[in-house]
Each structure stands twice: as C-alpha cells, then as structure tokens.
C-alpha cells in the first residue's frame, strides 16, 4: 500500500499498482487521507467558482461518443456561429455579478482556424478587463495559436485527456491520444496554465479510471486544474444508456485525484445537475474545491445559482475570492507549503 500521507512532494512517477492501491483503500480511510492532504494545501471551506459559456455551439466534426455537439449525432443541438465579443462580455458581467471569479469560453471546434484566433483574443481581452480570470477550450492548438492566446491575456487553457490511454479508442477515433498531449505541451511551453481532466462513467473499468489519473499525475507538470466530469448521457450519442457509475466510485475518483495531485484544483464539472446535495458534500470532503456555476454547462444542464448558494450555506463553504497583485488576477488560495503551488480552477 502506498504511503499517501506525505503528499507534500509532487510526484510524476506513479505506478498503476500504486494508483490501484489508493482506489482499494476503505472508503473512510481514503476520504480521511484526501481531506488531510486537501487541508495541507488549501482552505477546505473555500470553493473556486467558474462560469462556462459556449461561444460557438455544435457542428463539431469529431466523433467523441459522449458529446451532443458532434455533428454526426442527432441530439437536437443546432450549430451556431461564433458569438460577438459584445455578447460574450455581457455574459461575463452577469457571471461576475453572480459571484464567479473565473470565466471560461468554449467553442465546438476540432481546432480553431488561424482566422478565428483574433476574434477569440478580443473576447479574452475584454473579459480580463473585468477583473476575471480567463480560460478557453477550443480544441487542438498549434504552438503559434497558443502563443497568440497567451499574448491576449488567456490565463488557462482546457484540454481534457478524457479517459485512460488504453480506453481512448473506445470513445474517440477522430484524433489520437498523442494529439491531446501535444496541445498540452504547446500550452505549457508558452507559460499558460493547464486545465486537464477527464470523464468517468463511460463504461470504463476502475483500472481504466486509475489509468486516467496516473496519466494526468505523470504529466511533466500537474494540471493546474483537474476537472472530473461524470458522464451526462444524451439521447442520440453512442453512450446513451450506459450503466451509471456508482456514486461512491465517483467520490473515490475525486479523492484519489486529490492525493495524486495535491496542489491542483479538483473540480466537479459535468454531471452535477443529477448529483444530490449529499453526494456533492462527499466530493467536497474528498478534496474537490472548484465547481462550474450557473444554469448551463455547454449544452447540458448545471445546478442553478440559488441551489449552489444554498448548498454552500448548509455546508459552511464560501466562494474563493479574486485577488489582484502586480496587475495579475488570480483566485485567493491558501497554500501552507514552501514550494510553488500548481493551482487553478479552469
């Protein structure tokens, strides 16, 4: 059994056997370890709050089996054009007024065309002028595109691995696993922070969930944010009708992610709409400290703001606050260690 207590050292050499052993801990022991590590690096009463806006919906040429935005599936999601900068800015103002500190912009592209980058860069500059942290998820990026987004002021780039390397081809065939790793490398190379996680409940085994977390933790740098999505089944996609993941297994996944990537933000992302307050509370206890906030998460539902605020009040949680230092906007995060933190919530 691995010694999970001294996670003050950031490791990038996890073996699959070590990850399996963490998953196999008794539920109380696993949550105790995860909560202890969380408290070592963060204020456990603070949750980073983000809003995600789909700035370009539908029409994606990819075949991701979970995605209602793939044009090959009949899901009722209509393709739209890229939103105007003015419309995005208005949504960002609303998000900030509702308490969000991070604003994420998502576009249903395989990869943006070079002509799209200036339009997205304009959105980034305007949103950042509001004092919000900025994040984007636009598909695969070249090195030059990553540099242009960085120069526009983009703080974080989201590009998920989705699942374990050995299960990947069961879910996606229109791009290779290495393509995802290449985009993450381009983002890191220009100095942007990474947001990278995956989706669970797609029919993968516990071994494959362990493989996803092993791959994430063994990246050259831990993702600054690790979104853990629970599959939202959408009629018309190949994964509609998949057996739902056991809720306690989902909590285990959160806890193991916290132990393996102790300084990363671990986010409850897609799937929260169907989670009970009790399940979300267990996830926060297991080390989740970031959520998406608002009515929609791209094209699937998300708990409304009032429910989130009521849950925070019941649990004694509070939104993480924005702090500006030397012209840099970032969330206020407790870090009690002497070495640099990898923290983000996109």
> CB count, 10 Å around CB of 136?
28
What is the rounded distance in angstroms from the CA atom of residue 308 to the CA atom of residue 310? 5
Write down the catalytic residue from 104, 196, 283, 344. Answer: 104
Please confirm, yes or no, whether 64 is among the known catalytic residues. Answer: yes
Residues 6+ apart with CB under 8 A from 84: none
Write down the catalytic residue from 33, 102, 180, 195. Answer: 195
Could you tell me the two tokens for 319? 């939104």
Pick from 266, 254, 187, 258: nearest CA to 220? 187
**Rounded to the nearest 10 degrees, what angle do helices 277-285 and 305-315 cross at?**
60
Please confirm, yes or no, whether 196 is among the known catalytic residues. Answer: no
Write down the catalytic residue from 180, 230, 252, 267. Answer: 267
Q: Tokens 């009690």 label which residue? A: 336
What is the rounded distance in angstroms from the CA atom of residue 26 to the CA atom of residue 91? 44
Q: Are 12 and 220 in contact (CB under 8 A)?
A: yes
Q: Are 286 and 255 in contact (CB under 8 A)?
A: yes
Please confirm, yes or no, whether 60 is among the known catalytic residues. Answer: yes
Write down the catalytic residue from 102, 135, 209, 252. Answer: 135
DSSP 214-264: HHHHTSSS--SEEEEEEP---TTSTTTTPPPPPHHHHHHHHHHHHHHSTTS
What is the rounded distance in angstroms from the CA atom of residue 153 to the CA atom of residue 162? 26
Write down the catalytic residue from 33, 64, 272, 283. Answer: 64
Could you tell me the two tokens for 242? 């998949």
| 184 to 121, 180, 319: CA distances (angstroms) | 19, 6, 28
Please confirm, yes or no, whether 344 is among the known catalytic residues. Answer: no
Write down the catalytic residue from 11, 16, 20, 67. Answer: 67
Task: Please tell me whether residue 302 adopts helix, strand or coil conformation.
Answer: coil
Please confirm, yes or no, whether 283 is among the known catalytic residues. Answer: no
Helices then strands, each counted (H, E), the chain:
10, 14
Catalytic machinery residues = 60, 64, 67, 104, 135, 195, 267
């Amino acid at each position: 059994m691995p010694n999970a207590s001294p996670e003050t050292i950031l490791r990038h050499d996890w073996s699959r056997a070590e990850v399996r052993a963490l998953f196999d801990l008794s539920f109380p022991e696993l949550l105790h370890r995860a909560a202890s590590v969380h408290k070592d690096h963060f204020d456990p009463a603070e949750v980073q709050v983000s809003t995600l806006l789909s700035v370009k919906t539908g029409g994606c040429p990819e075949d991701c089996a979970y995605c209602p935005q793939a044009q090959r599936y009949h899901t009722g999601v209509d393709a739209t054009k890229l939103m105007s900068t003015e419309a995005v800015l208005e949504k960002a103002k609303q998000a900030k007024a509702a308490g969000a500190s991070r604003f994420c912009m998502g576009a249903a592209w395989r990869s943006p065309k070079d002509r799209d980058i200036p339009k997205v860069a304009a959105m980034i500059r305007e949103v950042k002028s509001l004092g919000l942290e900025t994040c984007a998820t636009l598909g695969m990026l070249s090195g030059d595109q990553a540099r242009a987004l960085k120069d526009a002021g983009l703080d974080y780039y989201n590009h998920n691995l989705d699942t374990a390397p050995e299960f990947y081809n069961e879910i996606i065939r229109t791009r290779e696993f290495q393509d995802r790793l290449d985009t993450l490398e381009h983002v890191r190379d220009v100095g942007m922070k990474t947001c990278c996680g995956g989706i669970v409940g797609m029919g993968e085994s516990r071994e494959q969930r362990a493989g996803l977390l092993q791959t994430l933790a063994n990246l050259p740098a831990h993702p600054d944010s690790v979104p853990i999505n629970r599959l939202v089944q959408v009629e018309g996609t190949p994964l509609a009708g998949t057996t739902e993941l056991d809720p306690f297994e989902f909590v285990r996944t959160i806890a193991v992610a916290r132990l393996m990537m102790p300084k990363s933000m671990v986010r409850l992302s897609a799937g929260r709409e169907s989670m009970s307050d009790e399940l979300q509370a267990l996830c926060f206890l297991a080390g989740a400290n970031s959520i998406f906030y608002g009515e929609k998460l791209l094209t699937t539902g998300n708990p409304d703001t009032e429910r989130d605020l009521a849950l925070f009040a019941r649990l004694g949680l509070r939104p993480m606050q924005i702090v500006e230092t030397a012209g840099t906007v970032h969330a206020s995060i407790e870090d009690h260690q002497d070495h640099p933190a990898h923290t983000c919530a996109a």
